[in-house]
């Protein structure tokens, strides 16, 4: 049966060095249950080590966790990448490792990068600097995502930094995007008029949460779907088979 699903496709855990310690997978899922968020995507910077914990934490709840990451291209543009299967995410992680900067994190300067389990127990601290550009450009990244049958969304295109628009001034025709995301600072309905470079791409919004208050009160996108899956969201972005983006 078709119905509306509230989704936040851009959520950071405490693995992202700029995220608060409260952003554990279990705590995110708990707040999603309390605030009736049906779908969340875990999208840490250039890493996916806390995705499995989020999947485990969501078992027994009505919250669907999508497998994701927010990557930074060599042009310093941020892109959300989402996958349906764990094998796809694992293959994507290998691509990321091949294109990391090689720099180590300075926890005092950038923040710690914590990996935890589904019960919020400490597992490890990631040493690679996650807040750094990859050696791959936006076109190469989107092509790699497409080969793995994932989807690629341009992050916060209304922001003056770290967006494909701010860094390049336009969306290159060889960059395969499923949608663009605008931040809380821009209403979705104003996006195309205020950012003509979006063209005909679908527009969504998300919390880009690094603290729990932003997750709870930040913007969400409502999808009209039959099931809370990435495949259904892909159809909604294309307005296919009665699936659609509602808000």
DSSP the chain: --EEEEEEEEE--TTSTTS-TT--HHHHHHHHHHTT--EEEE--BT--TTHHHHHHHHTTSSPEEEEEEEEE-TTS-EEEEEESSHHHHHHHHHHHHHT---PBP-HHHH---EEE-TT--EEEE--B-SSS--SS-HHHHHHHHHHTT-EEEE--TTSSSSSHHHHHSS--TT---SEEEE-TTS-GGGHHHH-GGGTT--EEE---BSSHHHHHHS--EEEEESSSSHHHHHHHHTT-TT-EE--
- Full-model pTM: 0.98
21 burial type by CB count under 10 A (0-12 exposed, 13-18 middle, 19+ buried): exposed
| Domain 3-245 = CATH 3.90.660.10 | no
What local confidence, expressed as pLDDT, does residue 245 receive? Answer: 98
What local confidence, expressed as pLDDT, does residue 4 receive? Answer: 98
What local confidence, expressed as pLDDT, does residue 150 receive? Answer: 98
Which of these, 96, 128, 103, 100, lies nearest to 16 by C-alpha position?
128
d(CA 173, CA 116): 39
What local confidence, expressed as pLDDT, does residue 13 receive? Answer: 98
What local confidence, expressed as pLDDT, does residue 207 receive? Answer: 98
- How does pLDDT run along the chain (247 residues), one tens digit per residue? 999 999 999 999 999 999 999 999 999 999 999 999 999 999 999 999 999 999 999 999 999 999 999 999 999 999 999 999 999 999 999 999 999 999 999 999 999 999 999 999 999 999 999 999 999 999 999 999 999 999 999 999 999 999 999 999 999 999 999 999 999 999 999 999 999 999 999 999 999 999 999 999 999 999 999 999 999 999 999 999 999 999 7
Angle between helices 86-98 and 138-147 (to 10 degrees): 150
């Amino acid at each position: 049966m078709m119905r509306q699903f509230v989704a936040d496709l851009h959520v950071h855990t405490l693995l992202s060095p700029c995220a608060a310690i409260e952003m554990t997978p279990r705590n995110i899922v708990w707040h999603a249950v309390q605030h009736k968020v049906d779908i969340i995507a875990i999208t840490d910077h250039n890493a996916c080590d806390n995705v499995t914990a989020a999947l485990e934490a969501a078992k027994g709840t009505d919250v669907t966790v999508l497998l994701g990451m927010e990557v930074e291209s060599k042009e310093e543009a941020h892109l959300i990448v989402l996958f349906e299967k764990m094998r796809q995410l694992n293959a994507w992680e290998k691509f990321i490792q091949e294109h990391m900067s090689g720099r180590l994190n300075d926890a005092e300067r950038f923040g710690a990068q914590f990996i935890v389990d589904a019960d919020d127990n400490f597992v490890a601290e990631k040493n690679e600097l996650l807040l750094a550009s990859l050696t791959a450009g936006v076109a190469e990244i989107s092509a790699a995502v497409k080969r793995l049958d994932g989807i690629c969304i341009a992050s916060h295109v209304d922001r003056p930094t770290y967006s494909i628009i701010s860094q390049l001034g336009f969306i290159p025709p060889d960059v395969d995007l499923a949608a663009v995301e605008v931040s809380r600072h821009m209403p979705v309905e104003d996006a195309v008029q205020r950012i003509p470079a979006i063209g005909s791409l679908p527009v969504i919004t998300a919390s880009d949460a690094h603290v729990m208050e932003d997750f709870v009160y930040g913007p969400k996108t409502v999808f009209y779907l039959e099931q809370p899956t990435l495949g259904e969201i892909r159809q909604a972005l294309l307005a296919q088979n009665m699936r659609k983006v509602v808000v």
